[in-house]
Amino acid sequence: MPVVRVLRRVACWMLQSPACGCRAPVLPSRFLGTSPRQIPMDANFHSTSFSEADQQRVLITGGLGQLGVGLASFLRKRFGKDNVILSDIRKPPEHVFLSGPFIYSDILDYKNLREIVVNNRITWLFHYSALLSAVGEANVSLARAVNITGLHNVLDVAAEHGLRLFVPSTIGAFGPTSPRNPTPDLCIQRPRTIYGVSKVHAELMGEYYYYRYGLDFRCLRYPGIISADSQPGGGTTDYAVQIFHEAVKNGRFECNLKPDTRLPMMYIDDCLRATLEVMEAPAESLSMRTYNISAMSFTPEELAQEVLKHVPELQVTYSVDPVRQAIADSWPMNFDDSNARKDWGWRHDFDLPELVTTMLNFHGPESRVAQAN
């Protein structure tokens, strides 16, 4: 019978000795499952080639975090509302739900993730699901599951279906033995938080999948991101968002870092634009898979002084959180992003004065800030 002959042939291949000079046995592809966890040794995945006229189908995981909603809005202007799908495991606010496609997606559920990619013909995937630095230290096991196991699922799905994959990294991917002022793209990385460790893991795994399977993996190391329309999410740099909320709400702000703690920062508009630009950059222009990007660098005291120019009655005090301070002291003070500027033309628009003015004006005429001005 044909089936018997095939099985005999397979058995003969499996019994061949490497010492005879024959090639190492590899099962025919029809005997291999479709799961990326069964990738054969000679597999070679390549991302779909995109032309300028192609309309991308985009999925954003972890979309209800600080950056996901803004990124969805930004990308919908570029690709159309129905072509950008926001996803999370939480119930979205009504305005988010009504603004464009939203679906439930648990990145720890591999089958569910595959179904979403296949059923919605996804071509680009932005993976934002992660527990941030301070929150991750409070729940290491959950951070390990979300930040590492979830990443593995995303990598496998992206490789299997030829997606272009973006995974953000962070200043937290560096540690106390890294050069801090400035920090280059390539240097020692020995972070001491589960968040940082998971991001170094993501950078290396993405680069490995690029070289091993041809996965079109792209990554930016974000500095602290400041956004007017989102709440702080448990990150060490979130004081730079919180100060504006507190200035508007009650005119008082208590900072949990020392006044002279210098960290790189960026306004969200620059961050979203950089993310799209690196995703649209021609593959031949990229000399690496992970880039630093930067815009400005300041201390809590310098930020407070700039805010006081607009809200002179603002009262700023300091109550240092030793956990967050230790994290901040191990992070870069300035990013060297010269490779991003050289390879794909990165340029920032917002410095500290523009950042503060934009953040305070965002809250409108009814705010304490507007009344004070």
pLDDT at 98 over 50: yes
* Topology (CATH) of 130-371: Rossmann fold (3.40.50)
Task: Determine the pLDDT at residue 233.
Answer: 63
Catalogue the E-assigned strands of the chain.
Answer: 58-61, 84-88, 102-104, 124-127, 164-166, 169-170, 216-222, 224-226, 252-255, 263-267, 290-292, 296-298, 315-318
Which residues participate in catalysis according to the annotation? Answer: 195
pLDDT for 69 equals 93
Amino acid at 312: P
- What interhelical angle do 239-249 and 300-308 show, nearest 10? 30
Instruction: Please report the pLDDT score of residue 136 as a whole number.
Output: 87
Contacts with 268 (C-beta within 8 Å, 6 or more apart), sequence order? 67, 70, 225, 226, 227, 228
The 10s digit of each residue's pLDDT in 318-337 is 999 998 999 899 999 999 99
Q: For the segment 275-299, what is each residue's pLDDT rounded down to a tens digit?
A: 999 999 999 999 999 999 999 999 9
C-alpha dist (Å) from residue 336 to 42, 90, 199, 296 = 38, 36, 18, 11
Task: Report, as an integer, the average pLDDT of 177-202.
Answer: 95
Inform me whether the pLDDT recorded for 65 exceeds 60. Answer: yes
Beta pairing partners, 51: none
Q: What is the band of 55 on the pLDDT scale with cuts at 50, 70, 90? A: confident
- What is the chain's mean pLDDT, rounded? 85
What per-residue confidence (pLDDT) applies to 14? 43
The pLDDT value recorded for residue 249 is 84
pLDDT > 70 fraction of the chain, expressed in percent and rounded: 81
Q: What is the pLDDT of residue 46?
A: 46
- Phi, psi (5° rounding) for residue 306? -70, -40
Assess whether pLDDT exceeds 70 at residue 373: no
What is the CA 314 to chain-centroid distance, rounded? Answer: 33
Task: Say what the pLDDT of residue 207 is.
Answer: 98
The model's confidence at residue 16, banded by pLDDT at 50, 70 and 90, is very low
